[in-house]
Amino acid sequence: MGEVLYRKYRPTGFDEVIGQEHIVQTLKNAITQGAVAHAYLFVGPRGTGKTTLARILAKAVNCPNAAKHKGEPCNACQNCEDIASGRALDIIEIDAASNRGIDEIRELREGARLSPTQMRYKVYIIDEAHQLTKEAFNALLKTLEEPPAHVIFILATTAADKMPPTILSRVQRFDFKKFSVAQIEAKLAKILAQEKVKAEAGAVRMIAHAAEGGLRDAESMLTQVLSHTQGTLTEKTVQSVLGVASFKQVGDLIDLIAKGDLKEMLVYINTFHNEGGSAEEFLKSLAQYTRKMTLLKIDADMRESVVPELTEEQFSAMVAQAKRFELAALRRMCEALIEAQENAKRTSLPLLPLELALMKISEK
Ligand SMILES: Nc1ncnc2c1ncn2[C@@H]1O[C@H](COP(=O)(O)OP(=O)(O)OP(=O)(O)O)[C@@H](O)[C@H]1O
Ligand SMILES: [Mg+2]
Ligand SMILES: [Zn+2]
């Protein structure tokens, strides 16, 4: 597996895009109705499909077959092929993080005036658009005010609040959402099936959790973990490569806390650490787990809103564990764990903040 998974499994058409339903639908409608806007703004967290959808849109507006096929690019014509291979001269991707100045935008404006060489539309994809300088934004604004008919701008950013309001008022904005653990798990499972790799369900889930809502991170982690895997992908490998803890491991520590045996707790996390686990990751997962347990203690009916990612088994386990604590004790645990995360920023000893928190939690 030479290729990086997130590139290999980047969706090539709208139908492969996970989530972001209303964005996909609106773009497809625009294409079938021939009502494409001249400037879009794609806003959202890392790895949620902004660049992916920008490229699909660039194909769809230039694919002669798309309008007949519900807006889907055919991925077979010359234009689709040239765009897919990155050879198309009319699709211009600019990373605003490294080309943020007035000169680059002036050049862009000059270029935008000229007709496309081969396609119907010139498409400018400007990544990390919030990084443009004030002068560059002003120059861009002039083009957005009177865009040539053959040009489409797609600005992508993770920080819309850093975009000038004058620009925001000139673009059609789409907000991309983070993915749920289940959505990430499903895509990872599909990749594993195609790569013909067997995996423990818990291992895939650990990666899906650790990715925190972004698919690129999830797929990068999977690439990394698979490079250390022979045969079946296991929880153990995920722990040692990514340092993250499984649901079960965190649950086991919670059991020890309920039991109140400080020595066992300390041995547990030290063993985790000695086996390649990251104390910081464990702390993060423990804080998350405790928070969820606390909310379920308040009312387990909140399941759908607070723990939609848990399986039936995990949910029951968490509710049962919550019963072993007083609400006040859970609240104190949450507080001790936040403090531990603060402390973690101030020390080079990775286990100490967690150890201190466990001592505090064990005090009566
Ligand atoms: N909606 C999605 N459906 C399926 N796969 C996705 C989706 N979004 C992202 N991915 C996967 O994650 C990878 C990275 O996505 P993409 O480059 O589109 O993210 P991005 O939103 O542009 O992130 P960044 O802000 O970091 O540039 C893709 O190559 C693809 O494999
Ligand atoms: Mg991107
Ligand atoms: Zn095509």
The CATH number assigned to the domain holding 300 equals 1.20.272.10
CA–CA dist 341, 61 (Å, integer) = 48
Domain end position, chosen among 216, 242, 268: 242
> Does residue 158's CB lie within 6 angstroms of at least one atom of ligand 1?
yes
Q: Work out the mean pLDDT of the chain and round it to a whole number.
A: 94
Q: Please check whether residues 335 and 356 belong to one and the same domain.
A: yes
Q: 35 pLDDT exceeds 70?
A: yes
56, 284, 297, 312 from 319: Cα distances, Å: 44, 20, 7, 11
Over range 123-149, report the average pLDDT: 93
Q: Please check whether residues 10 and 49 belong to one and the same domain.
A: yes
Domain end position, chosen among 242, 263, 284: 242
pLDDT at residue 187, as a whole number: 97
Q: Which atom of ligand 1 is nearest to the CA of 218?
A: 12
Contact 243, 278 (CB under 8 A): yes
> Does residue 62's CB lie within 6 angstroms of at least one atom of ligand 1?
no
How close is the Cα of 73 to the center of ligand 3, in Å?
5
Q: The domain that contains 138 carries what CATH number?
A: 3.40.50.300
Q: 267 pLDDT exceeds 90?
A: yes
Angle at 198 between CA 195 and CA 200, to 5 degrees: 135
pLDDT at residue 99, as a whole number: 84
Q: Please check whether residues 135 and 50 belong to one and the same domain.
A: yes
Category of 178 on φ-ψ map: left (φ > 0), alpha (ψ -120 to 50) or beta = beta
Q: Please check whether residues 155 and 122 belong to one and the same domain.
A: yes
Q: 125 pLDDT exceeds 80?
A: yes
Contact 280, 346 (CB under 8 A): no
| pLDDT (tens digit per residue) in 150-180 | 999 999 999 999 999 999 999 999 999 999 9
Name the band, by pLDDT with cuts 50, 70 and 90, for residue 123.
very high
CA–CA dist 290, 226 (Å, integer) = 30
Residue among 3, 8, 14, 48 whose CB has most ligand 1 atoms within 8 A, to mutate: 48
Q: 3 pLDDT exceeds 80?
A: no
Name the band, by pLDDT with cuts 50, 70 and 90, for residue 1.
very low
Residue entry with tokens 């650490």: 273
Between 3-7, 125-129, 230-234, 325-329, the lowest mean confidence (pLDDT) is in 3-7
The single-letter code of the amino acid at 49 is G
Q: The domain that contains 221 carries what CATH number?
A: 1.10.8.60
Q: Please check whether residues 9 and 143 belong to one and the same domain.
A: yes
Q: Please check whether residues 57 and 115 belong to one and the same domain.
A: yes
Contact 344, 353 (CB under 8 A): yes
CA–CA dist 222, 238 (Å, integer) = 9
Alpha-carbon dihedral angle through residues 303, 306, 310, 315, given to the nearest 10 degrees: -50
User: At 199, phi and psi to the nearest 5?
Assistant: -145, 145
Residue among 10, 20, 178, 207 whose CB has most ligand 1 atoms within 8 A, to mutate: 10
Contact 87, 66 (CB under 8 A): no
Domain end position, chosen among 242, 272, 287: 242
Over range 242-254, report the average pLDDT: 95
Q: Please check whether residues 64 and 46 belong to one and the same domain.
A: yes
> Does residue 19's CB lie within 6 angstroms of at least one atom of ligand 1?
yes
* Helix (H) / strand (E) containing 42: strand 39-43
Residue among 5, 24, 56, 215 whose CB has most ligand 1 atoms within 8 A, to mutate: 215
Q: 258 pLDDT exceeds 90?
A: yes
pLDDT at residue 298, as a whole number: 97
Over range 120-128, report the average pLDDT: 96
What percent of the chain stands above pLDDT 70? 99
CA–CA dist 240, 275 (Å, integer) = 6
Task: Report the domain count for the chain.
Answer: 3
What percent of the chain stands above pLDDT 90? 91
User: What DSSP designation does 302 have?
Assistant: G
CB proximity list for 131: less than 8 A, separation 6 or greater:
96, 97, 100
Q: Please check whether residues 74 and 206 belong to one and the same domain.
A: no
CB proximity list for 362: less than 8 A, separation 6 or greater:
257, 260, 262, 265
> Does residue 50's CB lie within 6 angstroms of at least one atom of ligand 1?
yes
- The end-to-end CA distance of the chain, in Å, is 53
Q: Please check whether residues 266 and 140 belong to one and the same domain.
A: no
Q: Please check whether residues 145 and 10 belong to one and the same domain.
A: yes
Residue entry with tokens 């387990």: 300
| pLDDT (tens digit per residue) in 191-237 | 999 999 999 999 999 999 999 999 999 999 999 999 999 999 999 99
> Does residue 13's CB lie within 6 angstroms of at least one atom of ligand 1?
no
Q: Please check whether residues 187 and 86 belong to one and the same domain.
A: no
Which residue intervals of the chain are DSSP H helices?
Answer: 5-8, 21-32, 50-62, 78-84, 102-113, 134-145, 165-168, 181-194, 201-210, 215-226, 235-242, 247-259, 262-274, 279-298, 303-306, 312-322, 327-344, 352-362
Contact 6, 216 (CB under 8 A): yes
The single-letter code of the amino acid at 111 is G
Name the band, by pLDDT with cuts 50, 70 and 90, for residue 85.
very high
Which domain, by its residues, includes 94?
Answer: 5-175
Structure tokens at 87: 């050879």
Q: Please check whether residues 226 and 286 belong to one and the same domain.
A: no
Q: 2 pLDDT exceeds 60?
A: no
